[in-house]
Structure formats: structure tokens, C-alpha cells
Structure 1
Amino acid sequence: MAHLSVSTAPAPPGKKGFLGIGFSQWILISMVVGILIGWLAPDFAPNLKPFANIFLRMIKSLIVPLLFSTLVVGIAGHGDDMKKVGKLALRSIIYFEIVTTLALAIGLVAVNLVKPGVGLQIAPDVGAGEEFQALASKTPTFASVLEHTVPQSFFEAAAQNEVLQIVFFAILFAVALARVEGDSKTVMLNWLQSLSDIMFKFVGIVMAYAPIGIGAAIGVTVGKSGLEVMLNLAKLVGTLYVSLVVFILVVLLPVALIARINIKRFWSLVKEPWLIAFSTASSEAAFPQAMQAMEKFGVPRRIVSFVLPTGYSFNLDGSTLYLAIASVFVAQAAGIDMPIGQQLLMMLTLMLTSKGVAAVPRASLVILSGALAQFGLPLEGIAVILGVDAIMDMARTSVNLLGNCLATAVMARWEGVLGEGEPEAAAQA
């Protein structure tokens, strides 16, 4: 089907961008400007929030049509059957489970070595306790996560940007479409391919606004909390950041080497979506750029459009490592001695419940609240963490993004198709 050949996204804006400054440099400049505005004019900084929200809203508006069109064309337009999709899904889940378990292990070792909570005293706050008790009641069970995966309405799922539900519906739709013969299949595939091409052009337009949105988001964060947000509970923040670096060096780097990933080229393509994820603390904001980057790296679109969004529910390396540190930190701050056996049981609970993290508002707080309540730890500990949560969120979100990008490349290598997307990307770059 030559008319359905995969066209790739345009090069991200800013290789020779405005005033000759590249896209990554504009993001860094906007972050510095945002920090300065938040620091020097904290009363003015909240006025920047609409500009940050505009960027995030534009990104959210394109995710569903982009994801649905690319995934359906990737499966139905390239001869994939359910057996092939199922094999990719099984391999992905195995990989996700191994990597997230290692992330939990590193977080658990780090928090027990550094003991960032020792010496702090949690002052109970009845109001906060009630608020987080309500969050704890929303913690998803394995059954609820399974049920939540299946949409009762595609349009409801699309309106709420429920990525996992969109993936589920798109896979079934693609398999059904693959079984159709004749003009109906051709017309639908051509329409979805056209939609995919248009949405990637849409991404390029939205990304031109990204530095403004990112600078505004940073300015609001610093203006609200002050530069002290960089200093308060520095031991906890430092433990997380160092642990994430260790995770990258001890887990992700060896995985990349074993899978024979060209690390230099991989980073050169991933650094822009990584910067977006770090500066906005939003995986959604970086999602379109990450898709473009991995296609340009040579990962076929059918793998990118399946593994990347699925990873946002099942492969949140940074978030799971954060949950391990935060939960034991609360026990330390409350002066509660948790035997290693109980800590391991809590890690098992977090490993299971965190799989529903993308399906719940205020996701990390919900999962953390549920774990603390289940193990009798004071929910007021979350109020302590919230003072620096914005800074930790930036780190864990960017590592989530990095881990999922690597997962797409590893799956492509495992399937023996890494590089198959590269000729088209090179031709259109």
C-alpha cells in the first residue's frame, strides 16, 4: 500500500530558529527568565499562569487525534495482526515490570542509606489529614485499574484525555479495520493517515509557543514558593535527584548498551522533549515531541504509538522511585520504625497501585496517600513533602519521559525493526 507509506513529523522548531537561536536554547532562556520573574516580581508572577495553561491546553487538545490516528494506521495499515500486537504488548509489560522494580529497589536503598526524614517532626494538621484521607480513599485497586482501562465511551475518554483507554479502543478499532476489505478500509486508512500528517504539523505550530509557556510555568512556581523552594527539605530533594541519576547510570544506561542503542544520537534527539518534561513537570507536554524524536531515531511508528503511551501508565520509572523515597521518608519523619520486611511489602503495594497512576487526578499524591493510610503512617507527612513537590515533580517526570523513550527503542531492537523508520525520517528532515 504505497499510498500509506509512513510520513514522519517535521523537524522540531528551532534548529535555526528565531534570531538564530535553537529550540533547546530558547527553552533554557525561557526557564532563566521565568526564574528571574518569579524571584524579583513574585506578586506579578501569578499573572503568567494563563500563558502556561494555554500551552498545556494546546498540547492536551492534540494528544487524542494524534495518538488515535498514528496507532490505528500503524496496526491496520501495515499488515499487523492481533498476534503481532499481543507479542509487542507482552514484551513491553515484561520490560516495564523489570525496570520499575529496579527503580523501587534503588529508591528504597537510597532512602534507608541517607535517611532524609530523620530529625524532622511532623506536626499533625487535622485539615490536611482529612484532605489526604479523602485522597487515600481514591487509591486504585488492581480490579479498578483493569476496569478503568476499558472505555465506556470513546468520546468521554477523549474529552478527559484518558490515554490508556484511547490506546485500548484504538487497538480494537485497528484490528477490526484490518479485517475489513475493499474501499471502506482504504478510505478510513487514508483519512487517518491524513489526520496523522496534519496533527504532526499542528505539533510544530504548538511547539513554537513552547518557550513562552515553559517560562510562564517556571515563573509561577518560583513566584509562589520563592527560591526557598530550592532549599527547603534539600536533603529529601537531593536524595531523589541523586537516586534518579543512579537509576539512569545503573539501569537505563546498561539497558541502552545491551540493546546497542546509539546513546549520543539518542540523547541528541530526546533532550528537547526531556527539557519540556522537566520544565513543565508534564508528561503530556512532552508527548508529541517524544513521538517525533523516536520516529526520527528509527523506531517504526507502530511501535512508538503503542509503547510510548502505554509506558505512561506502566513504566513510570521516576514516579515509582519517588514513591519509594517519599513513603519511607514519612515514616522516618514521624519517628516510626519500619522493618525491612514491612518496607518491602509497601514497595510491592506501590508497584501494583502505581500502574493506575495515570488514571487518577493528582496521581502521585493519591498513590502515596493510599500507601501511607494502608500502613498506618501519618498522612500529614504529605503536607511536608508538598513544599518541595514541584521541584521533585520536574525530576521524576523527566525521568519518566527518558525511560519511556528508551523503552520504545529497546522494543524496536527486540522486535528487530530498529532503524526501519529512519529512511523516511531522513528523507523528510
Structure 2
Amino acid sequence: MANYKNIETAFIHGGIYGDKNTGAVNVPIYQTSTYEQDGLGQDRGWEYSRTGNPTRAALEALIAELEHGKAGFAFGSGMAAITAVLSLFHAGDKIIISSNVYGGTFRVLDKVFNSFEISYSIEDTTNLQTLETKITPDVKAILIESPANPLLTITDIKGVADLAKKHNILSIVDNTFMTPYLQRPLELGVDIVVHSATKYLGGHSDVVSGLVVVNDEKLAERIAFIQNSTGGVLGPFDSFLLIRGIKTLGVRMDRHVSNAEKAVEFLQNHKAVKKVYYPGLKDAQGYEINKKQAKNGGAMISFELYENYDIKKFFSSLKLIALAESLGGVESLVCHPASMTHASIPYETRQKIGITDGLIRLSIGIENIDDLIDDLKQAIEESER
């Protein structure tokens, strides 16, 4: 490891840096499916690219270092990463999930793993006392997001990790929204961290990928076996793109967050805005907890307009901010969770947990904030009935 102490330097020099053979400062793209062996049982550390690839290995070493974990694993999407983690469990096991999580996580549990008799329950993980009463003998893990998608609900990560250890179950945190730059759950005692690296880690909306980091050698062996056996690995070119994206994560996140804080101030002071969800607000749910476990409130914002504003007209009136799935790219994106990211969650469940049809989710990019605010302002004005 090079001589450095700070994560901003680790983004660039962490993991496996450069190429010793040529002196290239970037890890090469090893675009190969297989590797020539010197004799029977005599490989050079590589056999087949599903099992291991040098470019992917560099990425996996990098994310493990950034999250302060024992081992990292790269997958073809965030959902492939989640699926690999859920494959640790067996028929009869139950997973507790936060009351608002990414719709894809709910869908894979509800429609895929249910078929394998792995069940789930949706609980309010913000109340640790109530949460503990939900840990029945069949519960084997608690899977949370903090901030959660899309209401940006904050859960006490260390509290959940301690609770999981007390009951000898696994704690899993989806750290997509915060990245290891803003929050490192493994340092708080969590067993497994998952990322949709498509988002902030890649940062440029040009690669779909998922990452898993674990804090235990035996757990690493199990995930490695699942990764190799099921084969949902990230290819070498996409691994290269993700390494490249991570190099600028620190400077990008600083700009994302700075822009988000100014956008939140604008939305809070606008007469059309009914409610703003942002963990960085002092009156936000979980503000003090988030302040302890994260660097700041991140760059995701959700908000609602008053009833005399047409939400469809708001979306169609935006000129700069794109209506699109996903988040975390350099460009600002807006979405309607009820019909987009969380459409797979039943209507009654969405209403119960607060994902209303009027909720708007905003991923603030790194454009000039004045241009973003001007776009929001004119779209709100156009949407007034």
C-alpha cells in the first residue's frame, strides 16, 4: 500500500494501482475469457474470467479498501449484488427489510426468493426497540438503507449492527446513496455492505454494476463461491470504467452535496413546496443519528408540491433536469418513485410507508447550481393550476 492516510488519495491510489509490467498508471483492461496455463495444475494465478479477472480484481481490492472491509466483489448490476447476498440464505429463513427500500430489492424478495421459501417482513428499522421484537427465530438478517430510498429515512446503523450481533444474525446495509466517502457501515459493525455502483461510484451514467464488501473471511469465502457459481460478474471493461469513475468520487460528491444543500434551501423557501425530505436538515427525521454516522446529508432530495400544482406538468416542464430512472450521475435526474423506481411495491404498501403519488425524487448533479434552481423554479411556475 502506498503511503497515504486519507480516502481522497485512496480513490486514486487504492486497491491495485497501475501496471507493474509497463509502468502504466491505469490498470489495463484484461479483455480475455481464459488464460494459458504452463502445465497441468500450473496456472499463473488466473484460470477463467468468471472466476477471476485482473481488472475486476483491482476494482474489488479498491472497494474493499475504501469500505475498510476484508474482501470486495464486483457484479454485473446492483441487483446481481443483492441477489448474491440473498443467496446466502436458505428455505425457512426470513429477512427484515426497512419500510422504504429500493423497489428492486423488494421485488427480488417478493417475486424470486419467496419461491425458494425465503420470506421477508417490512419493518420500521428507525425504532430499535420495536425492531428487536420483530426478530423471531426464523429471522437471519436485517437489510437496511440509510438514508432509505426514496424518503431518505435514517436508521441507526450501529444500533442495527449491535442488535444483529446480539441475536446472531447478519446485518446488511445498502450504502449506494452515501458511498464510502460519506459513510462506512463496516466501521460501525455491519457485516455486509452493498452498492449499486451504477450510481455515484461510477458517476457518469455509463456503466451498470454492483459491489459487495464483507468484514469476515468466512463470509468472503461464501460470497466468492456464490459469485463464481452463479456467474453474475462484472466484465473487465466495465470494471475499468468503474475504477476510473471512483478516482473522481471525492470531488464529485463535494459538488453534489454543495448543490443539494442549496437546492434544498430553495425548495424549503418556495411557496409551492409542501414538504422536503433531506437528512441534512436539522428538523429532519434522524438528523442527529445521520450526523454521527455520515459526513453530511448526501445529494438525494425528495419533496412534495401542494395540491394546486400539477405534478405531471412539473415533470414535463423541466428543461435541464432529465426525467429518468437511476441517480448519482454528473447530470441531475428527477423521478416519480410511485410509478418508476418503486412501482413494484403494491399501492397499499406505498401509501402506508409514505411513498405517495405526489412524491418527487431529485438526484442533484454537478452542474452550476444557479442553472438547476432556475430550471426547478420555472417548472414549478409552469405547473401551477
TM-score normalised to structure 1 length = 0.24
Structure with a larger share of its residues in helix: 1
TM-score normalised to structure 2 length = 0.26
Structure with a larger share of its residues in strand: 2
User: Higher RCO, 1 or 2 (CA under 8 Å, sep at least 6)?
Assistant: 1
